A and B are shown apart, each in its own frame.
Chain A
Amino acid sequence: MSALLQPAPPTPAKVSLWRLFRQERGGMVGLGVLGGFVVMAVLASVLVDDSALDVTANVMNPELAPPSPQFWLGTDENGRSVLALVVKGSQVSLLVGLAATAISIAIGTLVGIASGHFRNWFGGLLERLTDWFLVIPFLPLAIVLATVLGHSLLNVIAVIGVTSWPATARLVRAQTLTVEARPFVERARALGGGDWHVMSRHVLPNVMPLVMANTTLTVAVAILSETTLSFLGLGDPFAISWGSMLEGAFVSGAISRGAWWYLLPPGLCVVAVVLAFTLIGRALETALNPRLRER
């Protein structure tokens, strides 16, 4: 930064990450919204009676009925309450997003650190692998994998995890290279630290903050991916998620019947949760790198 335009800032005392994060209004809003949805997901099994979700039990109800005092968000093509479906759907949508992210981050961090650390053929191979996977477009690959593996929730989690790790790996690799260029790593090596020691004791702690910020953004993408895959019919046909609700709406002709109440709520939930994670991620990034405060 040009010394000309900025006075030297006072060196801040060591502030905890939470304190810094708290200053970011967007992040706090995101955290609040996310909290609400997590509560909803956790309580979903309690709030929603199983009979409300059963296809056969609701045959008597009007199908694709608009919101009414009895059904606040109307009904779907099977007569089920859309409100019940939305609340129940939060469980799968959030769980799949989080689980897939866990896999993705785990693989991505491992591969990223390894490919940045090993400057031999092994590291080079990992780097090549990362680049290859990065180039291949996500959805076609996911469709192929889901077709090969079958339509189930576990497979959706696996598919998203396996296709989204390269982005994290690339980021972690760049950070690993930066960290390993620092003198303290050279010193650790000179003192006899082996590969594992350097990677776990020195690189990993320095990479973790970046990974954390990246994780929240990865969850956002993972939830969007699950929604997309479920919409296309690649998820578990019997699971209820916001994406599967959108599939139901599409396939049952809710559009041509103008059943907007079936369409709006699940999508809004997705937008809210994804936005929440995005805001949290951006707030984390800003807290870790104050230069970004100007965003």
Chain B
Amino acid sequence: MVGEPLLELRDLHVTYPSLQGPVRAVRGVDLTVRAGTVVGLAGESGCGKSTLASTVLRMQAPSAQVSGEVLVDGEDVMTMRWGRLRAVRWAEASMVFQGALHSLNPVRRIGQQIAEPITLHEPKTTARAAALRAGELLERVGLPANRARSYPHQLSGGQRQRVMIAMALACSPRLLVADEPTTALDVMVQAQVLDLLTGLVRDLDLGLLLISHDLSVLGTTCDRVAVMYAGRIVEEAPARAVFADARHPYGKALSAAFPTIGDPASRRAPRGLAGDPPFPGALPVGCSFEPRCPSAIGACSSTDPQLLPAGPDRQAACLRVAADGSWLSPEPTRQETP
């Protein structure tokens, strides 16, 4: 089912000034999230995915310089007037933060916090009506309505995450951005929360941008996955394709890090990747992944690959991936791993 695009990022660049020079956190990202779908954004810490998420509601740091377009339901968030932006926030797109203790106001009851955006965006709603809606929202996410009277510290991590989701739905937005919603949760609770999210997407025809460093979280819930590295999308394809058959060497390394139960080839050891992601303020010339890439060739250190088609319905940013998705083998200068 092809829904209309709820979020479109077009050539997004985000740069922070710093004492050591400009830090390019996001370098030319194009991304689309359609209604009724879940798009995953994967990457290690520091790759720019949280910065990217912050731009959807124009919540990035005040010192950050942004270029490109962030279209929420067709409107560019970056050029909106302040009043329009505040109306868009939460009512058209909302965010699900990590449900850590500090994402919620510790001294207010969670029911009040869920009701707050309701009374803010729909001023005609009475306090009573808002409270009732808050209760309904809690039930929708699987919590009893009387939990509304609790304070955040009285809830478990999983319950707080559900509260964050309930709160995000308060004004019936079409677009949700979930930034690491399952980090710091037990695996069982993780699964419940992910089920909840995918169920909501299905029932309410939402668009969900799911951000996580944990590829296993994205593999089961997303329709499409974009892999981010050093501020750029290096691979974008249907989720299954990324997980089972990545084209970009980084994507391959990420998915190979998870051993397949039952596959003798994985039994020896899951293959990690040596080295660290580059510091965004000191990116190498050429492909930013080249220093760690097991398949790098000579051209990689001088040419910065663009995100180009790499097969039907998928893209990759690698010099060695052809337009039909096949792997190119020119004269190697390093040890290869096709």
Contact = CB atoms under 8 A, between A and B. Distances in A.
Q: Find out whether A and B make contact in their complex, taking CB atoms under 8 A apart as touching.
A: yes
B20 A10 contact: yes
Nearest to A7: B16
Interface residues of A, number: 8
B284 interface: no
B290 interface: no
A105 B86 CA distance: 52
Given A10-B279, A10-B281, A5 B60 contact: yes
Contacts, number: 28
B46 interface: yes
Contacts of A2: 97
A68 interface: no
B61 interface: yes
Nearest to A8: B46
B50 interface: yes
B280 interface: yes
A3 interface: yes
A8 B45 contact: yes
Interface in B42-80: 45-46, 50-51, 53-54, 59-61
A2 B20 CA distance: 22
B54 A4 contact: yes
Contacts of B61: 5-7
Given A10-B279, A10-B281, A4 B53 contact: yes
Interface string B30-44: 000000000000000
A3 B180 CA distance: 11
Contacts of B235: none
Nearest to B48: A7
Interface in A1-52: 2-8, 10
B145 interface: no
Interface of B: 16, 18, 20, 23, 25, 45-46, 50-51, 53-54, 59-61, 97, 179, 279-281
The 4 A-B residue pairs with the shortest CB-CB distance, nearest first, are A4-B54, A3-B50, A5-B61, A7-B16
Nearest to A11: B279
Given A3-B50, A4-B97, 12 more contacts: A4-B59, A4-B60, A4-B179, A5-B60, A6-B61, A7-B25, A7-B61, A7-B280, A8-B45, A8-B46, A10-B20, A10-B281
Contacts of A5: 54, 59-61
B51 A7 contact: yes
A90 to B, nearest CB: 41
A4 B54 CA distance: 6
Contacts of B60: 4-5
A8 B48 CA distance: 10
Contacts of B25: 7
Contacts of B23: 7
B111 to A, nearest CB: 24
A292 to B, nearest CB: 18
19 contacts: A2-B97, A4-B53, A4-B54, A4-B59, A4-B60, A4-B97, A4-B179, A5-B54, A5-B59, A7-B18, A7-B23, A7-B25, A7-B51, A7-B61, A7-B280, A8-B45, A8-B46, A10-B20, A10-B279
Nearest to B60: A5
Contacts of A3: 50, 179
Contacts of B59: 4-5
B212 to A, nearest CB: 13
A4 B179 CA distance: 9
Contacts of B46: 8
A8 B53 CA distance: 15
Nearest to A6: B61
A225 B152 CA distance: 44
A166 to B, nearest CB: 29
A2 B104 CA distance: 12
A248 B324 CA distance: 95
Contacts of B53: 4
A97 B51 CA distance: 51
B318 to A, nearest CB: 25
